[in-house]
Structure 1
């Protein structure tokens, strides 16, 4: 393993008191360090000297039905296996084992869009998870059957995840905002014959029929569903009749109230869940995560990176439909026995101080959100957080994309009281858990830099030839050795798994993250963005090929390129046939088509009609240039383009928007 900086220094030993080039370096406060879960500066050295055995510290955070026989099986790289031979159950680790000490402690605090509140103690959670697990078995769900979950941020979603885990049925959570077409694609791809959804959900004041999308998805499927379970979210607000092989969630749970289902002992290498994420070909990838390595990595990072303890009230603001909500909204906090906050609404509804009101009322001690949200908070103004007592906050986290130094400082000053550490984290659906971040009780912070690789993670920034990039020189972020939370494979098979992620280098297999990055002389990494055609907007990852294919499918459209701007919005550049009027009607048609085929969140915020798209002489669309134009940034020399004259026309079109 290699967790040292480019010149051999340890990551916890900055070379300059004020940072490289005079940049700010902020040490953890003594008061925080004294109470931090991890405050030992020797943790990096120990993990490097004892790799991979160092990860036993993560496995020891879990309860095992059968001890594992080996920490890492690397006989068939890059098909690595963590904690092989061991058996455990994820639901038992997140619920059952806490009953002796914390049965009456709150496990989940939920807040709905219309002011509803529900709380689950660990005992409440245990009872409902068991009842649903028994109900699913009655419906025919068996071990290794994939159950798809298509719900908004309601408590029944984590309950369903844990009920599936309890009986050894992998879950496949599909974000509630995705379309019927996207759901049907994921149902078929996952070979899923069971669906848990809800009647609908609220957006602002309006009730939306989620069940109708599920019904449309069912009609589009190649296969059939054996059973569908429907949660009553809207009550009398929407009449949603049930059809054949469809069951009310509440009735199913009530019928099995008080029953106990013995947790199924799963091999550490068995599938816990599959999650679909963007692929470079436009086809979503079914990322598979194994039970033992994933849960160990998530538990360790929840404790050591986010500094979460059982007596905390912790809030990860990510939707459970995405990996951050899986890892740090459900499995991470519940595995360490803390109280996790779930919020169904948007941060500005009904007021722009909604987030700060919830933090104050619930004495939230650790808050984890995205730079996109932080930029919105900044735009709305510091007066909103300043209206509230946020002194309960001990640590702030950020995830999803790079955060600017300005946003980092605003977050710490106006939300963290100028003292709370800000842990900037980098990781992916595929990594399963945090891979790069500072350890808040150990490592100094550098605003705008995600930090060094975590202990035990061999992340490197390399050039085109796979050699280490010089400090400050942009390169490609790779991981040179396996890690516990890593994906175990893709649903689509080994060939795509190898093609999408792995390079067989001279010194061993390397995982390609798809992100550009630069590393400084202290080993701190700055993420520069995607090097493939995936964009991050609204803290979500969208594949440009999938969005562009949808746009080009619109009658009259000949070509499209999609980028994200600095406000977290989707900008689509579109060319049309000469006989087509590129007006408001076409804009509406394009936006509606994207919403239908991908989901409402993917609806372009701006559509810019242009006679051509800027291309290299080899014909590749210059999305980086289009992104610069969308963000109003300087883009430098365009003489290498095949059609440089179009750049001025595109700029003019953008300014008119």
Structure 2
């Protein structure tokens, strides 16, 4: 196999040849002859004349006998053209496809590829019976249960477009997404389960549908034993009852450029942005990443400890592992408290996980509760070869802790909802690259990364600027926003013409390693000096008593802005003398210009459900603004407890 540098250079110098080769891993109904349509920039399209079905690639081809693996049929039953990928698909019908592990529900069950195909094809029949067809939308508002995965795959099987909304989102946020997506069907459950409570989903669904202007004719509701609900006559359908009478349907051929899903992310205007993911480019990119970035082969066990409501759940709980023929873990639990800080290690040991993907906040939570990693000794982690981290910056302190305790490569990699897969990583399936603490390592093939100054000129090595990607983006990245091409251009492509603006700031060092320091609005201006709050956080996080931290810039009448630090202590750590030590460390490592004079020790930091610290919200409260509570917040009580400190 070619090394990283050869692969990267080939992807930039001849993108068409590179991605045409990668596309051979997809089972096409009609193989694409055109790899990239660049006739209408900045709206680039990959594999525009290809035809396939994502669900068939994730399920059917693994169940098929090897002699006919890779062959799909149209609804009329006529054999269609396919590409010869050289891949021996098929023969995996009895292999485990999905492991559902729920300490919250006290349930564990597995699905073979054949069982998952049966459930999915029959639920596709349910959706078809409710009027869902190619191009229609299906909103999925569910907890971490196998039925959520089945609903996603069933939508894809019909050529419908699914939009998963994180279970537990407030009614008005769900209503906004319903009005934008205009679904034919909503799929939900009676409740979700948290360590300390049961969340009533059905009431939120009912309230959202009352608030929404769009009328949704049907809702499919999964009844859970923890909190069954009443169904509304004439609209609500029981999942169990519908499946009892369902007939399986075949996969529907779709264009590679047809949308597979819409995933909403927060917008600066308050209106959520619908990130569009296409079918063909998405499948090509994810198949490439599973082998080349994560070093996963068919039959390996892969666990992304995320949620299907987030992009990580889409890419690496559902589609990536199943497209490859791996076994994926669906975990309904927490890193701590279900029941203890050894929860992740139990899952790895019991299911033989090869690669674990989590957010740094999960590792920080485990480190806080179990700083000496005593729970590790209870489990056999011999199968675990990699720990991948993404979601927000992996601070060097947590990197060193995880590396030391696990004794395996710990890889920080950086990507976004918009890109769908890694912009920068260490491609472990290509070559074992050395890792630099604090760096997301190197740009991945297809991502021509540049760090730019405000005037558009290139930053020098080590100089911080706006991280941008030269167009076109590679397959799998967003081609546009749902129903709003103008907003797509204005949000991402207008600041630096010819480039995608990531919204993150950072720098490339002399070795080409990328350091992502945080959102560009997390760069503060202290008396004319531009400083990254991420750089200050990196210093605070190195203190042995600190479990996690956040730094925000607050308004100052004299200096314009000054930093304020917030730290959470490790279990059993003392705060005596800590603040003075932290302030001195920042002065020694960054300089007096940082002007850090206040650090508060707090019990917890407010976060989104995906683990990102709500720095923007904290900054707004500290500056005296009436800051709305984000819909994505994990625990509003944490923010409420912190508010008086921020305002002081």
Are 1:426 and 2:414 matched, yes or no?
yes
- Alignment check: 8 A CA contact 1:84 1:268 kept: yes
Are 1:74 and 2:41 matched, yes or no?
no
- Alignment check: 8 A CA contact 2:303 2:355 kept: yes
Are 1:335 and 2:332 matched, yes or no?
no
Are 1:395 and 2:359 matched, yes or no?
no
Q: CA deviation at 1:114?
A: 2.7
Q: CA deviation at 1:601?
A: 4.5
SS in structure 2 at match of 1:473: coil
Quick one: which of 397, 402, 412 aligns to 1:411? 402
- Alignment check: 8 A CA contact 2:131 2:184 kept: no
Partner residue in 2 for 1:25: none
SS in structure 2 at match of 1:368: strand
- The farther-off stretch of 477-486 and 146-155 is 477-486
Are 1:135 and 2:126 matched, yes or no?
yes
Partner residue in 2 for 1:151: 142
Partner residue in 2 for 1:246: 236
Partner residue in 1 for 2:505: 516
Quick one: which of 433, 436, 439 aligns to 2:427? 439
CA–CA separation in structure 1 for the residues paired with 2:469 and 2:637:
33
- Alignment check: 8 A CA contact 1:294 1:433 kept: no
CA–CA separation in structure 1 for the residues paired with 2:565 and 2:143:
25
Alignment of 1:457-468 (within 5 A): 457-468=447-458
- The farther-off stretch of 101-110 and 526-535 is 526-535
Quick one: which of 629, 634, 643 aligns to 1:594? 629
SS in structure 1 at match of 2:411: strand
Partner residue in 1 for 2:53: 89
CA–CA separation in structure 1 for the residues paired with 2:567 and 2:110:
37
CA–CA separation in structure 2 for the residues paired with 1:181 and 1:520:
44
Q: CA deviation at 1:248?
A: 0.7
- Alignment check: 8 A CA contact 2:167 2:192 kept: no
Q: CA deviation at 1:574?
A: 7.1
Quick one: which of 110, 114, 122 aligns to 1:123? 114
CA deviation digits over 1:322-343, x for unaligned, max 9? 0011001110010000000001
Aligned pair count? 535
SS in structure 1 at match of 2:498: strand
- Alignment check: 8 A CA contact 1:594 1:603 kept: no
- The farther-off stretch of 83-92 and 301-310 is 301-310
Partner residue in 2 for 1:642: none
Q: CA deviation at 1:594?
A: 3.3
CA deviation digits over 1:251-291, x for unaligned, max 9? 111211xx331211110110100010011222210111111
Quick one: which of 253, 265, 272 aligns to 2:260? 272
Quick one: which of 283, 289, 309 aligns to 2:277? 289
Are 1:351 and 2:340 matched, yes or no?
yes
CA–CA separation in structure 2 for the residues paired with 1:193 and 1:449:
44
Partner residue in 1 for 2:74: none
CA deviation digits over 1:168-198, x for unaligned, max 9? 1100000002111110110001122310000
- Alignment check: 8 A CA contact 2:202 2:229 kept: no
- Alignment check: 8 A CA contact 1:356 1:390 kept: yes
CA deviation digits over 1:288-332, x for unaligned, max 9? 111111121111112210111112111000111000110011100
CA–CA separation in structure 2 for the residues paired with 1:175 and 1:573:
25
CA–CA separation in structure 2 for the residues paired with 1:68 and 1:514:
33
Q: CA deviation at 1:493?
A: 1.0
- Alignment check: 8 A CA contact 2:298 2:324 kept: yes
Cα 1:90–1:169, aligned 2, differ >3 Å: closer, same or farther? same
Q: CA deviation at 1:51?
A: 2.1
CA deviation digits over 1:603-654, x for unaligned, max 9? 65255668xxxxxxxxxxxxxxxxxx97xxxxxxxxxxxxxxxxxxx6xx2x
Partner residue in 1 for 2:639: 605
Partner residue in 2 for 1:316: 304
Partner residue in 2 for 1:185: 176
SS in structure 2 at match of 1:91: helix
Partner residue in 2 for 1:585: none
Q: CA deviation at 1:205?
A: 4.9
CA–CA separation in structure 1 for the residues paired with 2:133 and 2:564:
43
SS in structure 1 at match of 2:425: coil
Structure 1, unmatched stretches of 5+, are 1-36, 537-543, 545-561, 583-589, 611-628, 631-649
Partner residue in 1 for 2:529: none
TM-score normalised by structure 1 residue count: 0.77
Quick one: which of 12, 33, 44 aligns to 2:8? 44
Q: CA deviation at 1:239?
A: 4.0
- Alignment check: 8 A CA contact 1:286 1:490 kept: yes
CA deviation digits over 1:528-576, x for unaligned, max 9? 111148999xxxxxxx9xxxxxxxxxxxxxxxxx999566524646779
Higher relative contact order (CA 8 A, sep 6+): 1
CA–CA separation in structure 2 for the residues paired with 1:106 and 1:276:
31
CA–CA separation in structure 2 for the residues paired with 1:603 and 1:81:
45
TM-score normalised by structure 2 residue count: 0.78
Partner residue in 2 for 1:527: 516
Alignment of 1:438-587 (within 5 A): 438-440=426-428, 441-442=430-431, 443-482=433-472, 483-503=474-494, 509-532=498-521, 568-569=605-606, 570=614, 572=618
CA–CA separation in structure 1 for the residues paired with 2:153 and 2:2:
29
CA–CA separation in structure 2 for the residues paired with 1:565 and 1:147:
41
Partner residue in 2 for 1:212: 203
CA deviation digits over 1:69-109, x for unaligned, max 9? 21111111110000110001000010001013100000000
Cα 1:40–1:512, aligned 2, differ >3 Å: closer, same or farther? closer
CA–CA separation in structure 2 for the residues paired with 1:565 and 1:342:
33
Are 1:379 and 2:368 matched, yes or no?
yes
- The farther-off stretch of 493-502 and 278-287 is 278-287
- The farther-off stretch of 364-373 and 198-207 is 198-207
SS in structure 2 at match of 1:95: helix
Q: CA deviation at 1:422?
A: 2.2
Cα 1:40–1:323, aligned 2, differ >3 Å: closer, same or farther? closer
CA–CA separation in structure 1 for the residues paired with 2:565 and 2:281:
34
Are 1:106 and 2:96 matched, yes or no?
yes
Partner residue in 1 for 2:27: 63
CA–CA separation in structure 2 for the residues paired with 1:378 and 1:598:
24
SS in structure 2 at match of 1:594: coil
CA–CA separation in structure 1 for the residues paired with 2:632 and 2:13:
46
Q: CA deviation at 1:41?
A: 5.7
- Alignment check: 8 A CA contact 1:572 1:607 kept: no
